[in-house]
Amino acid sequence: MSKAGCAAEAFKLTDIPNIGKAMAADLVQLGLPTPAHVKAMDPYKTYDRLRDAQGRLHDPCVLDTFMAAHDFMNGGPAQPWWNFTEQRKKLLGKTK
């Protein structure tokens, strides 16, 4: 499956780097069916909503993936989700 090289090339959720079929289904379930929705979403609130909607806590790497997708859709380069782990840990450490 080919991924978009930039946000303008992302026409469906699975075009976004790091977003596969399962993650796309989760985003659709949360009312975020298009790449434009990913651009506008708050990755942290989306992660919390996913946890609440499914009644279980997801692995924090899901938040990293949301962060990577959001960053890409806002003009950032395509990066592996794990490049956002340190940022997530710093931000969550400050809020808890």
**Residue 35 domain flag:** yes
Tokens of 79: 């990066």
φ, ψ for residue 89, nearest 5 deg: -65, -40
DSSP 45: H
CA–CA distances in Å: residue 38 to residues 6, 34, 44, 55, 74: 14, 7, 12, 22, 9
96 residues of the chain, pLDDT tens digit each: 689 999 999 999 999 999 999 999 999 999 999 999 999 999 999 998 887 666 777 889 999 999 999 999 999 999 999 999 999 999 888 654
Domain that holds residue 61: 11-95
Where residue 75 sits, what CATH number does that domain have?
A: 1.10.150.20
The answer, as to whether pTM is greater than 0.85, is yes
pLDDT at 9: 97
Largest Cα span, the chain: 38
Nearest-Å Rg of the Cα atoms of the chain is: 13
**Residue 56 domain flag:** yes
**Residue 65 domain flag:** yes
**Residue 1 domain flag:** no
**Residue 3 domain flag:** no
**Residue 54 domain flag:** yes
